[in-house]
A and B are shown apart, each in its own frame.
Chain A
Amino acid sequence: DADVTQTPRNRITKTGKRIMLECSQTKGHDRMYWYRQDPGLGLRLIYYSFDVKDINKGEISDGYSVSRQAQAKFSLSLESAIPNQTALYFCATSDREKGGNEQFFGPGTRLTVL
């Protein structure tokens, strides 16, 4: 089945470390997104990408950067991790051709910053 995968699934790191979360998809979708989930806050958008050459900031982009290496790959980086970036991170995709912005989510990466 076409899918959205995220690596790693779990990561523990220390304050100040640089860390990269990776997302790959086999759905052939053009749009990709990164969200973070915090208890009681729902999901909030960090960055999104229409295609390889188009990157856009979301609601909470400070402290994060992204790279769209190919249509199928979208990476999220924390340049210098801090404890309040401890969260569950989700990658998602959607298909411009289908409209409606239905998004398909990966399984998530649980990040802990000590």
Chain B
Amino acid sequence: AQSVTQLGSHVSVSEGALVLLRCNYSSSVPPYLFWYVQYPNQGLQLLLKYTSAATLVKGINGFEAEFKKSETSFHLTKPSAHMSDAAEYFCAVSEWGGGADGLTFGKGTHLIIQP
């Protein structure tokens, strides 16, 4: 069985500061990993995904994440936060080679940007 843990249900950073959202996963087989963002009253939008190619993955809006197998982590970062980054962020895992069933999501991290 697979699972995802997101550390911190709320993270607050100042505008212009580094954003770091933490995600650890467990999976019995090599995983696919995803970060989704949810803006208020909207659906989920894919930020980036890891599918066994490069371990450093670049996504939209200046976000990137690094897959670290030894640490079973896939933390999301952005060098400089912008007010428009305020949203809910979800990390998700799917098993490599499978994937017909659904994604397993973390509980989400609400990112707050302080002016």
Residue ranges of A at the interface with B (Cβ–Cβ < 8 Å): 4, 31, 33, 35, 40-45, 48, 50, 56, 58, 90, 92, 94, 96, 99-108
Contacts and interface: CB of A to CB of B under 8 A. Distances in A.
A105 to B, nearest CB: 4
Given A100-B32, A102-B49, A41 B107 contact: yes
Interface of B: 9, 32, 34, 36, 42-46, 49, 51, 90, 92, 94, 98-108
A91 B108 CA distance: 18
Nearest to A6: B43
Contacts of A45: 101-104
B52 to A, nearest CB: 9
Contacts of B100: 31, 48, 50, 96, 101
A96 to B, nearest CB: 7
Contacts of A92: 44, 102
Contacts of A41: 107
Given A90-B43, A90-B44, A101 B103 contact: yes
B43 A105 contact: yes
Contact of B99 (A40, A42, A99): A99
29 contacts: A40-B9, A40-B107, A40-B108, A42-B105, A42-B106, A42-B108, A43-B44, A43-B90, A43-B103, A43-B105, A45-B102, A48-B100, A58-B101, A58-B102, A99-B99, A100-B49, A100-B51, A100-B94, A101-B98, A101-B99, A101-B100, A102-B49, A103-B103, A104-B46, A105-B43, A105-B44, A105-B45, A106-B43, A108-B42
Nearest to B32: A100
A102 B101 contact: no
B42 A107 contact: yes
Given A43-B44, A99-B51, A105-B36, 6 more contacts: A33-B102, A92-B44, A100-B51, A101-B99, A102-B49, A108-B43
Contacts of B42: 107-108
A42 B107 contact: yes
Nearest to A38: B107
